[in-house]
Amino acid sequence: MGHKIKEQVQKLLEEKRIKGFLGLRELEGHILPHLFCNPQELESLSLGDWKKAGDARYPLNQILIQLATKYPQETFAVLVRGCDERGLRELFKWNQLAEEKVVPIGVGCPDELAKACECEKPFPDCLIDGLKGEGARSQRVHRVDGMDLDARLDFWLGEFKRCIKCFGCRNVCPMCFCNECSLEEELLVGKGEIPPDNPTFHLVRAMHMVGRCIDCGLCEEACPADIPLRTLYKKIAEIVNEEFGYKTGYNVGEKSPFNVIEVK
Amino acid sequence: MAKKRLTVLKRLLEFSGMNPRRLRMKWVSSAEAVEFVHEISDFAEEIKQLGPNPLRVKEAA
């Protein structure tokens, strides 16, 4: 697994079409992001599978933005799964990355990971290696939809009660790039309280995931309190699709309805 | 834009266990004093009928 990616990246590096390839490597038994600048380094390439499929994933797009900001003239290749590709498409539209300076290197997710993520499309269109897997339907959202109003409230208040305001969800999110985060605004979320304003903190975050969340699942993985964040954000995606016919990251040209102000 | 966000918010609140009837949106200009009063009175009545917000009740408990 991964040799097609190594071949493609090697070619790009040798032809000097990219300055480097932002991917993952294995080092001393751990997996971490790495910028591969010459082909010899590719020996240690990892796709993000440590003990289980996809359990060592990182928000590579976030790191790419930092790279691109520091080296705006350079072109970089980046390892992308289905979700990352959705992220790139949105980041281009939001002017956080320049499309002509990014070469996506696509890898498909194994079934086991796709099912765990309940991912609708576990592979990128620019697929080079890995499975072109089948999408999975979401059970998480369905379960909450099946509860009555009062049960839902009890459920969510109970889940959010464990929040320690570590900001792990926001920090790891590849789509969060705001310089001033609403969650740090005292008037919205009081400071010095644990758990933070319940349920305000998480509902504010959910509202900010509108037209933005790519369903990569890193937030839920990062959460030390096992809060079912994806259930909330998947519901947001469902609402946005039903109300506006928009699916984050599926469309190349079309901007999110929340990124456009119509002047009548 | 506000209308779009409120549409989503209403459904999010419902998914989170709050009655969507507790959120209302209406455009009123400062020249429409009568309509404003009418809308607020109507909304206040609806809220009274719904009773205390379970969120407040549960927090107090």
- Provide the residue-wise pLDDT of chain A in tens; the chain has 264 residues: 789 999 999 999 999 999 999 999 999 999 999 999 999 999 999 999 888 999 999 999 999 999 999 999 999 999 999 999 999 999 999 999 999 999 999 999 999 999 999 999 999 999 999 999 888 888 999 999 999 999 999 999 999 999 999 999 999 999 999 999 999 999 999 999 999 999 999 999 999 999 999 999 999 999 999 999 999 999 999 999 999 999 999 999 888 899 887 776
Residues of A in Cβ contact (< 8 Å) with B59: 198
Same domain, A189 and A160: yes
Same domain, A79 and A146: no
- Single residue among A70, A101, A129 that ends a domain in this structure: A129
Q: Is residue A19 part of a domain?
A: yes
Q: Is residue A101 part of a domain?
A: yes
Residues of A in Cβ contact (< 8 Å) with B12: 203, 206-207, 232, 235-236, 239
Same domain, A185 and A106: no
Domain around A117: 3-129
Same domain, A125 and A147: no
pLDDT at B58: 81
**Facing residue for B15 by CB, picked from A235, A240, A244:** A235
Does the CB of B7 have a partner CB in chain A at under 8 Å?
yes
- Single residue among A129, A157, A184 that ends a domain in this structure: A129
Q: Is residue A236 part of a domain?
A: yes
Q: Is residue A261 part of a domain?
A: no
pTM of this prediction? 0.93
Same domain, A43 and A117: yes
Q: What is the mean pLDDT of chain B?
A: 93
Does the CB of B56 have a partner CB in chain A at under 8 Å?
no
Does the CB of B11 have a partner CB in chain A at under 8 Å?
yes
Q: Is residue A155 part of a domain?
A: yes
Does the CB of A250 have a partner CB in chain B at under 8 Å?
no
Same domain, A151 and A192: yes
Provide mean pLDDT across the span B1-6. Answer: 92
Count of domains observed in chain B? 1
Count of domains observed in chain A? 2
Domain around B33: 2-60
pLDDT at A1: 73
Q: Is residue A196 part of a domain?
A: yes
**Facing residue for A239 by CB, picked from B12, B58, B59:** B12
Same domain, A8 and A123: yes
pLDDT at A140: 94
pLDDT at A264: 60
CB pairs A-B closer than 8 Å: 62
pLDDT at A11: 97
pLDDT at B31: 94
Instruction: Inspect the interface and report whether the beta carbons of A153 and B17 lie closer than 8 Å.
Output: yes
Q: Is residue A218 part of a domain?
A: yes
Instruction: Inspect the interface and report whether the beta carbons of A203 and B12 lie closer than 8 Å.
Output: yes
Same domain, A180 and A120: no
Does the CB of A153 have a partner CB in chain B at under 8 Å?
yes
Look at residues A42, A35, A47 and name the one whose alpha carbon lies nearest to residue A9: A42
State pLDDT tens for residues A160-195.
999 999 999 999 999 999 999 999 999 999 999 999
Does the CB of A239 have a partner CB in chain B at under 8 Å?
yes
Q: Is residue A61 part of a domain?
A: yes
Instruction: Inspect the interface and report whether the beta carbons of B14 and A149 lie closer than 8 Å.
Output: yes
Same domain, A121 and A13: yes
pLDDT tier at B56, thresholds 50, 70, 90: confident
pLDDT at A223: 98
Same domain, A115 and A8: yes
Name the closest residue on chain B to residue A206, using Cα atoms: B12
Give A153→chain B minimum CA distance, Å. 4
Name the closest residue on chain A to residue B8, using Cα atoms: A239
Instruction: Inspect the interface and report whether the beta carbons of B58 and A157 lie closer than 8 Å.
Output: yes
pLDDT at B61: 62
- Single residue among A129, A147, A176 that ends a domain in this structure: A129
Does the CB of B14 have a partner CB in chain A at under 8 Å?
yes
